[in-house]
Structure formats: C-alpha cells, structure tokens
Structure 1
C-alpha cells in the first residue's frame, strides 16, 4: 500500500537583503506574474560589458566583429557545431571579490527565475527565430541559437564574410549586437541580485509517497 508522507529537505533560496525592497520600477512587470522583479525597463541602461559599438558603414569593421566574436558549441563539444556566445563564468563577469564570493553561493538557488524573462523578451523580439540558452558543463556560456540551424555562421572564414553584401552583414551584426546587449542585461540583473539579495537556507517539507504494510485484523 502506498501512502503519502513528508520528506524534510534543506534548500537554499534567494532572500532580499535589508538594503533592497522589491519595488517594481516604472513600466516593469510586477513580481509573481512570471516576470523578473526588475522588469524589462530596468535594463534599458544596461552597462556595455559584452556589447560593442560597431560602425555599420564599414564592411571591414563588421567583418572584424563577426570573425572575432567569441563562439561556443551549440550542443556537445564532440559535434563541433558552434554559434556566437559569451562567457559568463563567475571569474569572467568583472565582479568584485565580494560579489564573486556571493555569486558562488547564489548558484545553488533559483536565481535563473529572475533572469529568464530577459531571454523570453529577446526570443519574442526575434519572433521566435532566435533565442539564448546556456551551455557548457556548468552552464557558463550564453549561446545564440537559431530555430532553423544547429549553428550560426559555423566555420565561416573572414574571406567568406567579406563576400557578403553590406545589407547581409548589417543584419547579422545587428542580431549579434542585440544578443550581446541581452547578455549585458543578464549580467546586470545577476549583479543586482548579488548586491541586493542574500542566500538563506530553509528546511522545507516535501510530500513523498512510500509503501508500508497494512495487516487485516482477525
């Protein structure tokens, strides 16, 4: 016979620190409705960490940007297919020593609940043709994915980029720059979690189904 029981489990979760009240910024989505507590309007002034200003009038500048952009695998490393990417491992985020220390503790929580709306907004803006996902053993890379291809510009040489028309180059540069801007928004949101929230441990009761023996009374 199966019966429902309770399993005690200790989990870590984010908790707003004393310095932060989760006040919704003007134009932002309210918490508790599947949106980040910061809201999309919060990130309009995201600092340029990954994003670069590219001269869209210069073919050489655009080719240099695309050819030199960081790339990472879209699946496992053995399939060798790559796309545009940004490295978001903690040592590469430009954090202070104190922020980095808090970041490692934050990794054990549900912090992505606050970052996912940024990706959702990007995917919506791209009309579902492109999206962003993490990859790597510890999810330390943000990768740009295409709906119709396993990789984006995978294996293209500089000379092949130079053969593109100015219009095609601008379209691709604008896409990759928008990806970099979304990466900046994700980084900024994560830093705000580090600065304004703390990690606490809680013991929660989790329902669990178990089997036990029930004997009839003679």
Structure 2
C-alpha cells in the first residue's frame, strides 16, 4: 500500500503558532534525518487523519510531498489530543535506501481457529506481543508479520524464532538473543461460585428443618431439667 501525504513548510514556530495552526485545521510537524537540516511542516488535519488511521501508515515507507518535492519518510512520533482524538504534532524521518531501519511492525495472527489447542481442546489464545521491532532495508519493509497458529496446542507457545520472516528482515530482539514468546494457548479457567441457599419452602433467613429440630430438642431437654429442679 503506497501512501502519499502533502505538506508545506512552516515558517512561524513556537507554542502559540502551533496552537493557532491547530485551530485553523492544520497539524504542525517536523521532518528530520538523512544528513539534512530539520524542516518544520504544516499538514492539513483531515487529509492527514484519513491516512493516519490506516495500519500501514505506521509501518510503511511513506511519500512526503513537500511543496512538489517528494521524499521517502517514516513516521517516527506523534501526539494525540487526549479528548478530541486529533493529531497534535507529528514527526517524520527521511529514509536512506541503502541504510537499515528499525521499525515496529504489527503481528497478524492467523489459523488460531483450526489449531489443536483451540479446535480440539477448547483452549484460549493469548497474544503476548502484538508488535515487534524489526531491522531491514527500506525496500524490504513489510506492513505486518504473519504469525501462523495452525499447529499450536494447549500449553504451547510460539516464539520469535518460529515465525517465518520475509527475506532480508530480522527481529531486533532475536538478534540480541531474546527469543520472546509471541502467543500461547491455555485452558480456560472455570470459576465456580458456591452460593448458600435457604431450605426449600423456607423463607429467606429461616433455619433449615434439621437445625430447627435440633433447637426444639434442646428446648425440651431444658424444660425437663427445670421440672426436676422443682
């Protein structure tokens, strides 16, 4: 999926200027890296958000059209408004086609429904990781990594080393000796709650019949002792 975003150079800087841009329907941003000077950007909020909501926007090489000049960039950072769900600021990094990049890429889990752990044993899949850092050249960057759960059974896990990777792509964690678990299947936990119920036919709070009988016998015994004393 090829994504192109448009921007103009932002001349006015500062907190106040950025606030005015947001009120006018724009998003302040920055373009940096590639051995060049950083450039302050002005991007249109609505068109940017339409692209931003796609998963591929966060893990793809993007084309930034800056006043007619196009550059390959990566999304590196952004801030969202805590209430309005609008983009407050966004950062892009220039991409060198000959240098490896480190990017977080999402996992797509497939075939869980046909795995022995789920289909035959009623297990529940737990997604321990939903994304991971990968290293590759820009041309090899995948939008996502598939995790095939077709063979996983109860009590088993899928680790990074067991995932089939595209050519030229590697997990950063695995390269550093950390073969982390990505997903597992476990038995569902059944929670049984025992609730004390009143005896059938008795009002709430009434003692069961057996307890009532014991109480009556005790009362009779006390009366007999009292008569002997007299």
Smaller-chain TM-score bracket: under 0.3
Q: Which has the larger radius of gyration?
A: 2
**More helix per residue:** 1
TM-score by length of 1: 0.20
**More strand per residue:** 2
TM-score by length of 2: 0.20
